[in-house]
A and B are shown apart, each in its own frame.
Chain A
Amino acid sequence: MKKDDIRLMPISNGTVLDHLPVGSALRIIEILGLDKPKSAVTLAINTESKSMGKKDLVFIEGKELSREETDKIGLIAAGATLNVIKASEVKKKETIAMPDHADGLIKCMNPKCITVIEGLPTRFSIRKDPLRAKCRYCEKEMNEKEIFNAIK
């Protein structure tokens, strides 16, 4: 990653989430539990992007994401770029994919669902274009906006 691309001082160790859709950065911070961070978190919202026109960016000092956290981000920002930074160098770069399943990642919005009433682990299958998550138990589907709000 070049400094010019991000127009902010990069972090020295941690994670940079790039090419995030505009409007997703604040929700990602919330999902990752970084709204009360222990180390530095920097956001860039609605910034210029050659490929996207506009994008959001998140810089997290001192944290690497787990597979579950990456899958959660995949549900609202598939196609975004995950950069792992070590000693100010990009050590790993991957495009975040939309997961096929979202087990335990989102809560069911149906108040009559067994997972809500008995507090059970959730299981969802994911369909793309348009994005939908279907609860394995009550079989209700959530649309993109509902998924955005339902990520645990």
Chain B
Amino acid sequence: MVFSLTDILSISDFSREDIEFVLQEAATMEKMPESKKSGLLRGIVVASLFFEPSTRTRLSFETAIQSLGGEVIGFADAKVSSTKKGESLSDTIRIAGGYADVIVMRHWIEGAARRAAEVSSKPIINGGDGSNQHPTQTLLDLYTIKKQFGKIDGLNVGMLGDLKYGRTVHSLLYALADFKGVKVFLISPESLKMPQNILDDVEGKVEVRETEKVEEFLPQLDVLYATRIQKERFVDEFEYEQIKNVYILGKEILKHTKKGFKIMHPLPRVNELKPELDSTEAALYFEQARNGVPVRQALLNILKDVKKE
């Protein structure tokens, strides 16, 4: 199996084979003894360039780098970089590429990672570019599903909440369309439905059903991927106030779900998942967050040897 990508920019660049390769490598990372793992990135320098603050993604990447014995350079806030002095993204990336073997970046500008990949001689890993892409989140979501169920093909996956603006659910839907026999159940208020252009793109590849009522499809679901309704997306605060509490899930939903049912969430959550769910067998979201480390370890280990032309 040859991994076809030299940069990790967007889940839309991945074939099913590429996804499966990453998931397999992540599983290998989890099983590998620490003594062996800690030498995988020895002598490798990873630039961690966070032009926009992010605690979860940055810590997960930096943990992954250090656990494999790599060195981290970079910044956690663009205010401390030359960006504040007006330096273009391209220049910052070229400079960082002079010091590092792999570049991990997050930026508020959409398309920043793809632009960086064009000018960089070193592989780029996109840790999120505005509301556009966050491919390592999608890969860890898929890894979590695969690890839990042993497969992705044929599963019934619910997506709940803000399906209009939520990039995690957009990317996950695209990725699931690469697998066979997956049914996706979209649960959202009318005003936050999955955009039609995305539904058009996956038509014929994945069976999609839509509803506003969470209880309608619950008994069929293997996994429910819940998302936060993001306040910052609403121009009209009144509209947000009307919608924010529309889905609050507690233990009572588990009376209607099948055996082995799991709940995922990209976190942070607000009130959509009650804390009472945390101690149930359905709660998979904390493990999902932890799975970010082996997935990012796998990506770093794959990309450390990549030679870009």
Contacts and interface: CB of A to CB of B under 8 A. Distances in A.
Interface residues of B, number: 18
Contacts of A118: 88-90, 109, 115
Contact of A138 (B88, B90, B110, B197): B110
Contacts, number: 46
A69 interface: no
A117 B132 CA distance: 15
Contacts of B89: 114, 118
A141 interface: yes
Contact of A120 (B110, B115, B130, B131): B115
Q: Chain A contact residues: over half helix, strand or loop, or mixed?
A: loop
Given A114-B115, A137-B114, A140-B110, 8 more contacts: A112-B109, A114-B89, A115-B111, A118-B89, A137-B111, A138-B110, A138-B129, A140-B132
Interface of A: 110, 112-115, 117-118, 120, 132, 135-141
Contacts of A120: 115
Nearest to B12: A139
B10 interface: yes
A30 B12 CA distance: 35
Nearest to B131: A112
B133 A139 contact: yes
Interface centre among B10, B88, B109, B130 (most CB of A within 10 A): B109
A114 B197 contact: no
A92 to B, nearest CB: 37
A112 B107 CA distance: 11
Interface in B84-137: 88-90, 108-112, 114-115, 129-133
A118 B130 CA distance: 15
Contacts of A136: 111, 114
Contacts of A141: 197
A112 to B, nearest CB: 5
5 contacts: A114-B111, A118-B88, A118-B109, A132-B197, A137-B111
Contact of A139 (B109, B111, B112): B111
B109 A117 contact: yes
A112 B90 CA distance: 16
B197 A135 contact: no
Contacts of A117: 109
